[in-house]
Each structure stands twice: as C-alpha cells, then as structure tokens.
C-alpha cells in the first residue's frame, strides 16, 4: 500500500479535524517522504507514541522527539530541521507565506508565457505546418527569460542563420539547439547562485497540497546552497572537470555504505528462527518495552551477484563513466561485479577491474581498447551476443543492471531477448538516464517497461535511491 495513503488513513482515523496532533504529524511525515527521507508507517506511529510522553508546549522537546524517530542520518537530520522550522509555525505566518507564494507563482507564469511567445516568434517561419513542435520545459523557458538581452539576440541570430540550411526535420533541429543551449545556461546560472532561490531538488515530489508543497519547495531550494547536495542532484552529463574529484569522493562513500548493507549476514524473517532485538523493541514500545510481540531474523543464504550491462554510445558515454565507477565501488567491497559495455555490440570488461588498478587507470584502458565506445546503439545485437556467450553467468541470485537511454534500433526484438534473460536471473533493473518527463516521447521505453523495472537515473541521488530502495528489497 502507498505510504502516503496509509498516513492519510491514519490521520483520518486518529483525528476528528485538522487541528489535532495526529493530523499534523502524519502530514509532516508525508512531507519528509516527498523530500527523500525514508519514514515508514511504524516510525510515524513511534513518533506519535513518543510525543505522548513529551511536553507539547515545548518546541524543543517536540523537535527532539520527532528528530529521534524520523531522521536516521546527518543528511536526513538537515532536511528534518529545515522542514520542521517551516511546517510548525503560527497560522499567521503560514497565511503570509502562502500569499507570497501565490504572487511568486503568478509572476513566474507570466515570465514563462512571455518567454514562450518570444521563442515561438523566432521560429514561426520554420514551423508553419507544425506550430506546436518546439517543446521546452518550464525550467528552460525560465532560463531563457533570465538570459542577458545580448545572449537572447545571439540565439535568435543562430536560428535565423539556420533557416538557409535544407533539413528534413527542422522542428527537431530547433529543439536540440535551444534545449542544449538553455541547459548549458541554466547550469551556469545555478552555479553562480543566480537561480538558487527558485530552484528545487529534482527528486522532491510535490503532493498537490498547497501548504505541504510550499514547505517541500522551500526545503529543496535551501539544499542547493550546499555544494555536496548540489552535485548529488545535478545531471551527471553537466558536471565539469572541477567537479570530478568531489563526485568521485561521494561515489566511493555511498557505494561503500550500500555494500555494507548488502553484505550483512542477517535479514528480516517471518519464521521463528532468531529474535531480532532491535525490531522487537520498536514493536513493543506501545507496551512499555515488554516483549509481547516478537520479531525474527534469519541468515542470508547467499550474497547477491551483480551484473552490469552499460550503454557507452555517443549519447551515454558521459553517464557511463560515473555509473561504472559506482558499480566498481560496490564490486570492490562485494568481491567483483560482472561488467559489460555495449553500443553496436557487446564487450566484456570484467577483467579490467580485476587487475588491482585504480578506477581511472582501468577506465583509460577500457576506452583505449574498446571498439564500441562512442558508437551508435544496437541493444538487440548486444543482448544476442550476451545470450550466446555469457548466459551461464546468470543465476537466481543475479541482479542485472542495464544502463541506457533506450535509444536503440529493433526495440521489439531486444525486448524479447530481455524476457529470456529475466527468466534466468533474479531481477533486472534498468537505469534510464533520460528524465522521466521525456519518456512518453520515446516509444522504445514503453516497450521495455513491459518487460523490466525502469527507473530514472541521471543524478547520483537517483542512482543511490534506486539501489537502496529497489534493489535492497529484492536481495
């Protein structure tokens, strides 16, 4: 069951109105989840139980109790503090913030509409047959509105010069030119703090509730002021050379933490094998700590085996380097990962990572020796090669990662080969570097999603969350 629905039910059952402590705590827990904090129903109930022993008139006591129950890491504690300070305020302050937010939204919508009209006027001669072909996101339109006037004129001049070039698909060409240029400018504006006050975490999902969304967006915007968090949530393709060392440190740290969790000897069990002390204490807090309901754990039978199939075509090469480094870090702790790269065909690169050299040296050798790096994509041929030569590497304990933007020829034939691989392994996780909002415009993605679980993955934060939440539950 969706935890957001569970908290809504809990609030409705436990309260008769919107001014009760139960209602507000469950809404606060929902805000934290939408900001990426892992808050379960059990933890929300623990918080409510613990608050019954606290002085509710003491803001510090309430803060301390909720933080102890809902925040489990330094990063989550930082998000908690920001959200707490914004959510638990007087009604007058809430009303003032909501009024200010509505005014800002109205002004932002006006700016975006003006930018849209200005761009459409610049390309109207090209698109008489397809007037709605140029599709830009709101963030890209907002970026255009903030550009210096000379830069706007320069972009218009480029489009004007392109009119004399005979092309078969002018609308698609316009899209690519505008989007690449605006994405470039947006990154540099954010880097220079010109747009930080309006930016939000890409992973922060809104709820549709005005009051809650105001808190979510405010907390998300604040976390762009921290360089580490900014890198965590930045598109990996936009990283510059100066960001590489910081990104490498984050990858090594996160992969080591995940490897520690994956290599634990015990897992939750429904059978009475061995008492799990930590979960037992949590379940029985409502009874004063008396162990009435017991929780159990059992030993893991086998460690998971990971197998990586990574797209290194021209559109994926930048992403491939970081994702392979992440998997390399996991492999160093778990005893190795079977690794493959592909574009027009498949190449096995496992041996490159088993020579006890650092990652940079290994990647340099791979790029120099590979015949696939930077070419076009043919997933069907690559999977056919895998099935004919390496299918013996699959087992029920194998988790297969496919990293690709799904831009390939023969997607239907490739999907059939994926079905065969799925029958032989434990789980397939497809990490797609395209933003999820663009998936509807790529038919191959719809085909592959019928066969495998696909997740958006173009930032380090999304990569970590996918591995932690989706993979860990399958091992």
Average pLDDT, the chain: 75
pLDDT at 180 over 70: no
Amino acid 255: pLDDT: 67
Q: Which residue has the higher pLDDT, 310 or 118?
A: 310
- C-alpha angle with apex 190: 188 to 194, nearest 5 degrees? 105
Structure tokens at 469: 């939440």
pLDDT at 321 over 90: no
| CA distance linking residue 163 with residue 165, whole number of Å | 5
* 471, 330 contact by CB (below 8 A): no
Amino acid 133: pLDDT: 52
3-state secondary structure of 305: strand
Phi then psi for 401, rounded to 5 degrees? -105, 125
* 215, 87 contact by CB (below 8 A): yes
Helices 74-87 and 210-222, interaxial angle, to 10°? 130
The bridge status of strand 274-275 relative to strand 453-456 is unpaired
Count of positions (residues) in the chain: 475
Q: What pLDDT, in 10s, does the model give residues 97-131?
A: 778 777 877 877 787 777 777 766 666 655 555 54
pTM, two decimals, is: 0.56
pLDDT at 197 over 90: no
Does domain 305-474 fall into CATH 3.40.50.410? yes
Confidence band for 262, pLDDT divided at 50, 70 and 90: low
Q: Give me the residue spans of the domains in the chain.
A: 93-194, 265-299, 305-474
Q: What pLDDT, in 10s, does the model give residues 335-378?
A: 668 889 999 999 998 888 765 667 778 888 888 888 888 888 89
Name 379's Cβ contacts closer than 8 Å, sequence gap at least 6.
311, 342, 404, 406, 408, 410, 411, 414
């Amino acid at each position: 069951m969706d935890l957001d629905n569970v908290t809504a039910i809990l609030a409705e059952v436990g309260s008769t109105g919107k001014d009760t402590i139960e209602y507000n705590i469950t809404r606060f827990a929902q805000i934290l989840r939408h900001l990426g904090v892992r808050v379960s129903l059990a933890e929300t109930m623990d918080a409510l139980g613990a608050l019954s022993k606290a002085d509710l008139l003491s803001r510090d006591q309430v803060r301390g109790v909720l933080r102890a129950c809902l925040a489990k890491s330094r990063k989550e504690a930082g998000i908690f503090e920001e959200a707490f300070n914004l959510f638990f305020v007087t009604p007058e302050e809430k009303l003032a913030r909501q009024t200010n937010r509505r005014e800002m939204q109205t002004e932002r919508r006006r700016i975006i509409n003006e930018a849209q009209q200005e761009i459409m006027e610049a390309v109207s001669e090209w698109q008489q047959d397809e007037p709605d072909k140029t599709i830009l996101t709101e963030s890209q339109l907002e970026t255009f509105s903030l550009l210096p006037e000379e830069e706007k004129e320069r972009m218009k001049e480029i489009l004007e010069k392109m009119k004399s070039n005979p092309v078969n698909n002018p609308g698609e060409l316009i899209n690519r030119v505008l989007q690449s240029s605006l994405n470039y400018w947006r990154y540099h504006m954010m880097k220079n703090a010109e747009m930080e006050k309006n930016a939000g975490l890409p992973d922060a999902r809104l709820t549709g509730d005005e009051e809650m969304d105001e808190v979510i967006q405010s907390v998300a915007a604040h976390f762009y002021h921290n360089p580490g968090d900014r890198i965590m949530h930045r598109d990996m393709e936009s990283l510059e050379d100066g960001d590489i060392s910081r990104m490498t440190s984050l990858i090594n740290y996160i992969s080591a933490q995940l490897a520690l969790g994956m290599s634990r000897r015990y897992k939750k069990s429904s059978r009475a094998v061995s008492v799990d002390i930590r979960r037992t204490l949590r379940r029985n807090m409502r009874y004063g700590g008396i162990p009435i309901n017991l929780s159990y754990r059992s030993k893991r039978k086998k460690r998971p085996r990971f197998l990586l199939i990574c797209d290194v075509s021209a559109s994926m090469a930048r992403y491939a380097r970081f994702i392979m480094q992440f998997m390399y870090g996991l492999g160093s702790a778990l005893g190795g990962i079977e690794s493959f790269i592909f574009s027009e065909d498949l190449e096995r690169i496992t041996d490159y990572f088993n020579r006890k050299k650092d990652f940079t040296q290994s990647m340099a050798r791979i790029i120099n020796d590979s015949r696939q790096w930077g070419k076009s994509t043919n997933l069907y041929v690559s999977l056919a090669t895998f099935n004919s030569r390496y299918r013996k590497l699959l087992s029920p304990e194998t988790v297969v990662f496919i990293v690709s933007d799904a831009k390939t020829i023969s997607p239907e034939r490739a999907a059939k080969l994926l079905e065969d691989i799925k029958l032989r392994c434990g789980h397939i996780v497809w990490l797609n570097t395209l933003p999820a909002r663009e998936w509807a415009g790529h038919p191959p993605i719809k085909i592959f999603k019928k066969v495998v679980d696909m997740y958006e993955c173009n930032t380090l934060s999304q990569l970590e969350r996918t591995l932690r939440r989706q993979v860990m539950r399958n091992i």
